[in-house]
Amino acid sequence: MTAVQLYYALKKSHKCFLGIYERIVKIKSVTQPNCQKCFALWVKHNIAAGLQKNLKLDFSSRNGLRRTLGQLKLPENELLGKYMLPKYLLYKWKTYRDREIIKPSQSEASPVLLSSLLTWNLNGLGTKRPWPEQLVVQNQCGIIAVQEHLLSPLQYPPALKTFSHTTNPEGEVFKGKPSSDHLPVLSNLQQHAYLTSPPSIKWNNKLLQGHGDELSPSNRWNFLQVDEINSQDELDHSANKYIEILNNVGDCLGIRGESKDSSPRYFDKASLRARMQERGAKRKLEKALQLKQNPQDNEAKEFHQAIQHPQGKYRQSQIPTPCFNEKGNLLVDQEEILEEKASNSPRLAGNLTGIYKNQGHWGIYRATNSSMGPLRIEGVNTALKQARKPVSCPILSVLDSLLAI
């Protein structure tokens, strides 16, 4: 018996119960545990009780079937082979009824690519125009041209009644409109920045013979072709002499720095103050020389300072700028600078840096010619602080050299 035969049997047996018959959803063949074929009925929940009663699958019918099978006294294998298992069918139906309902996943529509936009016919160009425009906008492309291709009758079947063709070239002329097809020429509007890698440098080992790894370790001083150096002791002696010359030159010019071992780590307050003032004066001098080299930038800065100063927006540094006195000494102490500016305020009013840019004013503040000493800072005697003697600063020697130039 097949599922179709059972379907028609149920239809014939439920002529008087059309409501129950119409609620039968599906008839599915099921294999029982005894490998016998039976059928599972998928029905609506509201007719399940009526269908069980009609098919004698309710509680009373199952009890009557059990009594009938008990009276027959047949062996178990024969009972399983000849009679149906209504309890198993009911279990399968309840399992399907109480199943977990999962929302089916909606598959996303595949995007339409430009490769699918092949051609369109001339007659349907007006109706298909919005769709190609949307594809072109989404893919950031532009149609730069439309090519027309005339197709032969063998390639394009005629769609007009008056169209006729023949394979004989000497036959009659084609009737009707010729078939044509239009192909859009697309161009990508996206700009791609292709970064090129820098060219790799490859050394030619042939040009490095005798100057690379091929130096002979047996003759160690082959690359120093000097007559006075013939051994390592002579090389050490010449190197020490060269270093000594450099140290002497640095001491004479005042540009030699102290080593970390010889430099003191801790200063008294007076020496530390003098050291910091010297560094500040050096920075001021470098800034003034830099402004002198760029007069246009200097004028622009002075213009903004002149406007912002009366408005209260320009804030000068609290520490006054070092300046020269009439004797030519550079004043670093704050009180001495204020006293000198108060006594010579007319001359120093327009000079923010304390150093005149005009060479005509340099004669007033020309420093005395003194011997250039080394760039070292020694401790300041605090007992002479009341005498207000100017602190010796090597910046004078640098200014002398600049003024002499």
Tens of pLDDT, residue by residue over 108-165, are 666 655 555 544 444 444 555 566 667 667 777 766 666 665 555 444 444 444 444 4
pTM beyond cutoff 0.85? no
Higher pLDDT, 284 or 16: 284
As a whole-number percent, the residues of the chain with pLDDT over 90 amount to 0
Amino acid identity of 50? Answer: G
- Same domain, yes or no: 281 and 399: yes
28: Cβ–Cβ under 8 A, 6 or more apart, which residues? 3, 39, 40, 42
> What average pLDDT does this structure show over 352-369?
47
Residue 293 has pLDDT above 60, yes or no: yes
Sorting pLDDT into bands at 50, 70 and 90, what band is 5? confident
Question: What pLDDT, on a 0 to 100 scale, did the predictor assign at position 323?
Answer: 72
Q: What is the mean pLDDT of residues 71-79?
A: 73
Task: Give the per-residue pLDDT at 275.
Answer: 82
Residue 382: predicted pLDDT = 44
At 398 the pLDDT is 56
Same domain, 294 and 381: yes
Query: What confidence score (pLDDT) does residue 307 get?
Result: 58
pLDDT of residue 377: 44
Least confidently predicted of 47-51, 56-60, 158-162 = 158-162
Percent of the chain with pLDDT over 70: 33
Inter-residue long-range contacts of 278-287, CB under 8 Å, 24+ positions, other chains counted: 278/332, 278/377, 278/393, 278/394, 278/395, 280/319, 280/322, 281/322, 281/330, 281/332, 281/393, 281/395, 282/395, 284/321, 284/322, 284/353, 284/354, 285/355, 285/395, 285/398, 285/399, 287/353
Q: Show which of 168, 188, 208 is a domain's final residue.
A: 188
Q: Are residues 273 and 248 in the same domain?
A: no
Distance of CA 120 to the CA centre of its chain: 42
Q: Specify the range with the lowest mean pLDDT, choosing from 106-110, 236-240, 300-304.
A: 300-304
More confident: 234 or 313 = 234
For residue 244, the enclosing domain spans 221-253
Are 180 and 129 members of one domain?
yes
What average pLDDT does this structure show over 43-63?
A: 66
SS3 at position 374: coil
59, 93: one domain: yes
- Mean pLDDT value of segment 55-83: 69
Residue 195 lies in a domain: no
Q: What is the structure's pLDDT at 155?
A: 46
pLDDT of residue 192: 62
Q: Which of 145, 173, 188 is the C-terminal boundary of a domain? A: 188
Identify the weakest region by mean pLDDT among 81-85, 187-191, 281-285, 319-323: 81-85
For the chain, the domain total comes to 4
pLDDT of residue 400: 62
Let me know whether 141 and 232 are in one domain. no
Does residue 21 sit within a domain?
yes
Task: Please report the pLDDT score of residue 396 as a whole number.
Answer: 56
pLDDT mean over 254-270: 66
Q: What is the pLDDT of residue 119?
A: 47
Could you give the CA distance from residue 285 to residue 390 in angstroms, rounded to a whole number? 18
pLDDT at 301: 58
Residue 199 belongs to some domain of the structure: no
pLDDT for residue 99 is more than 70 = yes
The span from the CA of 55 to the CA of 231, in Å, is 121
**pLDDT, position 405:** 54
Judgement on whether residues 287 and 232 belong to the same structural domain of the protein: no
Q: Are residues 125 and 84 in the same domain?
A: no
Residue 109 lies in a domain: no
Give 397's pLDDT tier (boundaries 50, 70, 90).
Answer: low
CB burial of residue 349 (10 Å; 0-12, 13-18, 19+):
exposed
Q: Are residues 31 and 135 in the same domain?
A: no
| Averaged pLDDT, 316-321 | 59
**314 and 387 share one domain:** yes
pLDDT of res. 220: 44
Residue-level pLDDT at 173: 46
Residue 197 lies in a domain: no
What pLDDT sits at residue 337? 78
pLDDT at 252: 75
Identify whether residues 288 and 384 lie together within a single domain: yes
Region 58-80: mean pLDDT is: 71
| Whether pLDDT at 81 is above 50 | yes
What's the CA dihedral at 125, 127, 130, 131 to 10 degrees? -90
**Domain assignment present for 67:** yes
Taking all residues of the chain, what is their mean pLDDT, rounded to a whole number?
A: 63
Among 44, 65, 97, give the residue marking a domain's end: 97
Predicted pLDDT of residue 287: 82
Classify residue 193: in a domain, yes or no: no
Out of 1-15, 243-257, 291-305, which region has the weakest mean confidence (pLDDT)?
291-305
In the prediction, which pLDDT does 148 show?
60
pLDDT at position 97 is 75
CB atoms within 10 A of CB 355: 21
Residues 400, 274 within the same domain: yes
Structural domain includes residue 107: no
Q: Is the pLDDT of residue 322 over 70?
A: yes
